[in-house]
Amino acid sequence: MIKIIYLGIGIIFISFFIGCKSNILVNPISTLKGKPDLIIDEVIYKRLPDCHQGYPSGIICDGPSFEFTLRIKNIGNADVSSALFITNSRSKWDLDNQYCSCGQRLNDPPMNIPINGSLDIKLVSFIDDSVHNVLFVLDTYDRSNSGLNIPKIDEVNYDNNSYILPLQW
């Protein structure tokens, strides 16, 4: 009698397991949670005047500054609404060491970036005149600041969050 009960339980378990397994194979995506995947899709720039009217001393000349417009694109499978922290290199030493010495929190208050959508963000940065390339990094996993006001975004892929822009002087 006990053998029959165990046999019956075993058959039910195997039937249930096969049934569940076949459902997973038919629709494997339905059980996964969607995540965004942000990339820097494009960067355009313009050089700003080296000198501008300052207060109270008059003309201030502070060297080469650029206004960058970064197109952030969401290639993932979920929308994202979060502030973004973007860093960039400013010197040849920064670029050689893959270090970004300038960081800015942008898109705050946050705007939604839908699946396959994009958002253009402007930032201004001083760039040393020896630089021929600028490295931009979209820091969504707080790799450098240990939780200090850096928004963390759970992404599909963190390895595609950088962009190197060749500068023309």
The pLDDT assigned to 30 comes to 41
Q: What is the pLDDT of residues 58-100, one digit of tens each?
A: 787 777 899 999 999 999 999 999 989 999 999 999 999 989 9
Question: Which DSSP state fits 82?
Answer: -
The distance between the two most distant Cα atoms of the chain, rounded to a whole number of Å, is: 100
Q: Does the structure show a pLDDT above 50 at 22? A: no
Using an 8 Å Cβ cutoff, are 67 and 45 in contact?
yes
Tell me which of 2.60.60, 2.60.40, 1.20.1070, 3.40.50 is the CATH number of domain 38-166. 2.60.40
Domain ranges of the chain: 2-31, 38-166
Distance of CA 119 to the CA centre of its chain: 12
- pLDDT band (50, 70, 90) for residue 2: low
The pLDDT assigned to 24 comes to 38
More confident call, 135 vs 33: 135
Beta carbons within 10 angstroms of residue 90's beta carbon: 19
Q: What is the pLDDT of residues 109-148, one digit of tens each?
A: 899 999 999 999 999 999 998 899 999 999 887 655 555 5
The pLDDT assigned to 146 comes to 54
